[in-house]
Amino acid sequence: MKPVIVLNLKAYRESTGDAALRLCEIASEVSLVSGVRIIVAPQAVDLRACARVCEVFAQHSDAMDAGAFTGSITPNALKDANALGSLLNHSEKRMPHETIGKTVAALREAGLQSLVCSKDDEESAQVAAFAPDFIAVEPPELIGSGISVSNAKPQVVIKSVEAVQRVAKVPVLCGAGISNAEDVKKAIGLGANGVLLASAYVKSEDPKKLLAEMAGAMG
């Protein structure tokens, strides 16, 4: 599988509204030049606008269909907004495993992709049984730390890739603390199919330069 970069914009002020659109425009430009698939996950309120600019995933989805579900984000609503899929089970939005399975299935039924986050190799193997499109392993203690998992805990990446492949042919991404091109290069060298990052991109003084360097490190 071609390596992929996933950019989680979270709910930072620097990634809301017009700022989110600009970050998506940069992602689109870098993807076009480098040939690397780059997916952006903006806030739900920015999904429809951002989907006109680049490939977008939601930051979360629920498993239910349309109905009386206040505050829920349904797969069909995401599809209508032109999102291509959704992140699930991020450490800041954890989900029961049974719910993860139902939501992966609901997204698949709607024709959408799923990226399930996991905290370690054991959880990576567990969620692989749901056959999501991607799994991103992210030790929670390293998220936003600036210390990449590929440097601090390389065995977590190696073991996660091995554990997932024993269950299903699901690409594994490396997340948590990914901050520069060298982190990306190390992640790919450890067997990851790509990276998931957030603050390093959103808060960068030169996000285009950073992203171009990361895409170039994909090899």
138 in active site = yes
Going from the C-alpha of 142 to that of each of 56, 137, 196, the distances in angstroms are 24, 11, 13
205 in active site = no
Catalytic residue, chosen from 55, 60, 123, 138, is: 138
Catalytic residue, chosen from 60, 90, 109, 162, is: 90
Catalogue the active-site residues. Answer: 90, 138
